[in-house]
Chain A
């Protein structure tokens, strides 16, 4: 009898302990809409690659934190040379890759040289354009020599495309990624999920989650069901904004509408007459009611913009008034330019924001007498025919890279900006390091782009995240395309 009592007491005690400890050690299951094609962030443009691996598995010399600031990564500090033509970084000591191989300056040099090699499979070669050579004078010092000053370099080095890889595992990272991060790759069941587990030999503060799974759910309705059923704990970017009020009303979940670096535009092919005329482009911009788009296509979750700069950026100026919604003025501008019976095709890539906005814009343009044909295109076709082939009239797309205003300085870019002064400003921005002077240049660029009606600027793409209310540390905003869960934990 006494033994029985003792046993049940012990059992009760054990269950109490596990009741306290178990929930905190619970794995996190994150839902994503798209599956990465492979797992090497340095060799592909798909955002899904970074969304699984950035900061969790792979780390760069620097990194972007939740507020969008550049903070130390595998480099503890860095300093530009007096002429601005070199950057010296001090590297962290005692860092090892998940396979036990040490990280040092030689590995860092290898990673950068591999990423910037001519013809390398890297999707963001512009990040490394200013680098002339990389030297590793000692194991914890890396010197990057530049052909021209590049004030953005510490920021560029924080991108997923610049993460550190080991020469021995670089070639196999696509299938079995080996990084230095707080999580190590466990398995990838293609089509279903990728599993990461805590790296117990991490150089820094260990991750609190024992295990993170990234599950792929393509259909937004099913995503909602999976969330409600508890099969998935978090959707950092949820595909169905119309269901957000339902989720927000449920105390089990947290709904956060954060910012991203994605400026949604209706790009104009300004080499195609009559779109080469400023008046016609202005007319297009004034025919579009941005607030109607935000309300109708984005269910009120987005912020209207008037230039290619996110509202949370310190250099942002509100230019939505430059070509504000004014259908009468749009008609007058078209008449003034002598353009009648304008027929345009609006090409829509498969994203829901593009398809939904396209429907509304088409009816708005018809209001001012422009005959719009909607043309749905696949992503592959968009890249090939519209983006590279520049064969289109109008198209809707979000430019999601951080600090990408530089594309407006490229006359050969798909929307054909032809403004030498703008190119000058943006070139000056490349080499300017003084923060105040940079903001001034950025604002001048924004004004020129808005005045020129280069594109129709629609809204800043929101990041609508939903997750279990017991989760702490999920990123609200998306300053970089990533799901950094290194600081996430279960509160209970």
Chain B
């Protein structure tokens, strides 16, 4: 059955290429971080033992942490460990890096997901509405709100939200995280404000992208044709404009995921959330190389994977792309 192999071979090859790209990206990112951290003055042994420490004790601790080895050896050791599934031990906390990241991921991953959901949940309807009622009051309102959302720093927004909802209204706690074992309700209520602060600027960007994409699609001939055939505005948008506009929107969502992860460093500090971002921030100031490397590796991997998924979805969602792909696969079919 030659047809089937032809259809399958291409995605597998593409997947392999993607995986190779991912591996190269991860290696480059780790090497970059390793070099940057080595250039920074100070090491975890000094930070841990402080000003009055006996230099011999600092040296002993340094040896214990493997910091007395030449840099290439340190990197090779770390890389060897990672390939064997071992991310090493935190110099400051003296526990495995994997455990540290896992106990923080239960805060950061739901926060990022909540952020994306909020961003998309706000931006898609708002952008659609603005596009359909183009150049009218609603459009102006949405565009203005988006401009404001874009200009507000999320730190400031976070502080205002805390003041409003935690201090004045007392409906959510002012930062901190009770843990999932305290129940889904309390845990979610601790995450909702940070998610809003995190999502607001992203939602603003996405609203404008959505509006533009839909507006452009609506100017296309096929929408005019659909309207001429008697479809309602809503129907034409849903059936024709939206599917065509989805590709740029999905690409931006993928890119925004990276911003959400980076923004989490700040937002988690503002809301005192024990997340991966705050772990990374602390680890850098304590020169805890193993933790920094581990977190960066996982964050980079997550961002690359999410971007790849979004790209894939964008291709799949776009009727023309889908069609083009079908044609390409037909051409590749052996004669």
**Chain A residues at the B interface, C-beta cutoff of 8 Å:** 35, 37-38, 44-46, 118-126, 174-175, 189-193, 215-219, 221-222, 225-226, 228-231, 350, 378-385, 387-389, 401
Contacts and interface: CB of A to CB of B under 8 A. Distances in A.
B256 to A, nearest CB: 25
Nearest to B60: A119
A221 B167 contact: no
Nearest to A226: B174
A124 B167 CA distance: 42
8 contacts: A119-B60, A121-B61, A124-B52, A191-B104, A192-B273, A222-B272, A380-B46, A401-B52
A192 B57 contact: no
Interface in B251-307: 269-275, 278-279, 282, 285-287
A215 B92 CA distance: 19
A215 B159 CA distance: 18
Contacts of B59: 119
Contacts of A193: 176
Interface centre among B46, B174, B269 (most CB of A within 10 A): B174
B48 A46 contact: yes
B274 A190 contact: yes
A416 B42 CA distance: 21
Nearest to B46: A383
A121 B49 contact: yes
Interface stretch (B93-101, B113-121, B318-326): B93-101
B243 interface: no
Given A191-B279, A226-B175, A380 B103 contact: no
Given A45-B50, A231-B166, A385-B41, A222 B57 contact: no
B54 interface: yes
Contact of B175 (A44, A46, A231, A350): A231
Contacts of A388: 46
Interface in B156-185: 159, 162-163, 166-167, 170, 173-177, 179
Contacts of A125: 52-54, 57
B36 interface: no
Interface in B49-102: 49-54, 56-57, 59-61, 92-95, 100
Contacts of B167: 225, 228-229
Nearest to A119: B60
Interface of B: 40-43, 46-54, 56-57, 59-61, 92-95, 100, 103-104, 107, 159, 162-163, 166-167, 170, 173-177, 179, 269-275, 278-279, 282, 285-287
Contacts of B42: 378-385
A383 B49 CA distance: 10
A155 to B, nearest CB: 15
A121 B57 contact: yes
A60 B107 CA distance: 38
Contacts of A379: 42, 47, 285
Nearest to B155: A219
A44 B159 contact: no
B272 A215 contact: yes
Contacts of B274: 189-192
A191 B162 CA distance: 19
Given A44-B48, A226-B176, A231-B174, 12 more contacts: A46-B48, A46-B50, A123-B49, A125-B52, A191-B107, A226-B175, A350-B285, A379-B47, A380-B42, A380-B285, A383-B47, A384-B46
A191 B275 contact: yes
Contacts of B43: 380, 384
A401 B53 CA distance: 13
Contacts of A121: 48-49, 57, 60-61
A406 B115 CA distance: 54
Contact of A45 (B48, B107, B166, B175): B48
Interface centre among A118, A379, A401 (most CB of B within 10 A): A379
A119 B57 contact: yes
Contacts of B174: 222, 225-226, 228-229, 231
B95 A175 contact: yes
Contacts of B286: 37, 380
A422 to B, nearest CB: 19
Nearest to B56: A119
Contacts of B173: 226, 229, 231
Contact of B170 (A190, A219, A229, A401): A229
B61 to A, nearest CB: 6
Contacts of B176: 192-193, 215, 217, 226, 231
A116 to B, nearest CB: 10
A218 B272 contact: yes
Given A229-B174, A380-B286, A45 B270 contact: no
Contacts of A217: 175-176, 272
Contacts of A350: 285
B162 A222 contact: yes
B136 to A, nearest CB: 40
Contacts of B60: 119, 121
